[in-house]
Amino acid sequence: MIPFLDLRAIYQQDAEAYDAAYRRVMDSGRWILGPELAAFEAEFAAFCGTPHAVGVGNGLDALTLSLQVAGIGAGDEVLVPAHTFIATWLAVQQSGATPVPVEPAGGSFNVDAEGLAAAITPRTRAVMPVHLYGEPADPAAIAALCAQRGLLLIEDAAQAHGALHDGRPAGSFGALAGFSFYPGKNLGAFGDAGAVVTRDPALAQALRERRNYGSLARYQHASVGVNSRLDELQAAWLRIRLQKLPAHNQRRREIAAFYQQRLADLPGIETPQVAAGNEPVWHLYVLRCARRDALQAALAAEGIETLIHYPKPVYRFPPFAAMAPATRSLSDQICDEVLSLPIGPHLSDGQVEQVVEAVRRVAEALR
Ligand SMILES: *Cc1c(COP(=O)(O)O)cnc(C)c1O
């Protein structure tokens, strides 16, 4: 069996370092808002090319708190991709604003500046593009659009740690960018964690206050806050994962390049297109196939585990059904056709070769 993901293998590859970090934190007696978090925040900010990073409890909170400190709320509209993980929309919902869906650009899984521009109304205050599957979503053009129209750009970079557009890191284009360190992400904790990066020191300060009960000094509450902190153990482990991230992302790029080369010619299968200027980090490697369900079943029979990201556009789920278009959308079609192959540092060359051989056999059989 070739597993889609193997988080135990990620731990075991560097178990000594993670265990030593565990001992260090346990012996320190500090669990919350201590030196490990401060060090991780500095290291992650540098990695993203932004002056500030603020650790929070998870990726959803990173996005929600970003909207809140930017003053987005009731009565405001925020443009979001129809085709994304539901957290993007839930963050907007939790801020009190209204998510407004935008369809992917033709030939892409991502929204682009043109599609977003067409969805702007007098109530639009912010744009929250997602660098889906680890590929930047037209960030330079979207940043220019936002500057021109007076909109706030908040990147959902939860799948794009280290992805580049014109050599610039995902997360460095917006006023704010939210990252998730959910275990399965390219940079994953061993539990829940997230962060916001920003160039703006005032927004960074507001985030530090908001994540900790509106407080920067003990029992001094300057504003309304929540409890959403990135704890010391996760921060210590994330510092190690961050050191490994360039090599892990490089391995993903190698595997993706191999898939791109070896699967490009197959009947009935479309390999992902990478937009100009982009260096994705391949959080997911996603094929399109009109006979997706048959492809997935046949690959399972060959011992290849695959997943579907995502089975439906967000507006087809009950909480947002009122926003669903009456007719079949581009996102509906994409969701019916996508299939994610195993990718990640847990895979050997031999396993990647096995995936390719299986996909080739199955595609020929299905033609
Ligand atoms: C994972 C993810 C999130 C949410 O992150 P959590 O840490 O699970 O809260 C948000 N947006 C996208 C696109 C994601 O993939």
Please state the domain extents for the chain: 7-240, 246-366
Mean pLDDT of 78-99: 98
Both tokens of 148, joined, read: 């021109």
Mean pLDDT of 32-44: 98
Q: Name the architecture of domain 246-366.
A: Alpha-Beta Complex (3.90)
Residue 342 has a pLDDT of 98
Per-residue pLDDT band at 367 (split at 50, 70, 90): confident
- What pTM was estimated for this model as a whole? 0.98
- Kindly state the helix (H) or strand (E) to which residue 221 belongs, with its residue range: strand 220-221
As beta bridge partners, residue 212 has 227
Question: Are the folds of 7-240 and 246-366 the same?
Answer: no
Ligand 1 site, residue 60, Cβ cutoff 6 A: yes
Q: Name the architecture of domain 7-240.
A: 3-Layer(aba) Sandwich (3.40)
Mean pLDDT of 259-276: 97
Residue 341 has a pLDDT of 98
Parallel, antiparallel or unpaired: strands 124-127 and 269-270 = unpaired
Q: Which residues, other chains included, contact 148 with Cβ-Cβ below 8 Å and sequence gap of 6+?
A: none
Per-residue pLDDT band at 42 (split at 50, 70, 90): very high
Contact 176, 196 (CB under 8 A): yes
pLDDT in tens, 277-302: 999 999 999 999 999 999 999 999 99
Atom of ligand 1 minimally distant from the CA of 159: 15
Both tokens of 260, joined, read: 């791109």
pLDDT in tens, 215-249: 999 999 999 999 999 999 999 999 999 999 999 99
Atom of ligand 1 minimally distant from the CA of 88: 11
- Kindly state the helix (H) or strand (E) to which residue 54 belongs, with its residue range: strand 52-56
Number of other residues whose CB lies within 10 A of the CB of residue 367: 10
Please give the distance, rounded to the nearest whole angstrom, from the Cα atom of residue 350 to the centre of ligand 1.
31
Both tokens of 57, joined, read: 């409890």
Ligand 1 site, residue 25, Cβ cutoff 6 A: no
pLDDT at 143 over 90: yes
Per-chain mean pLDDT for the chain? 97
Ligand 1 site, residue 58, Cβ cutoff 6 A: yes
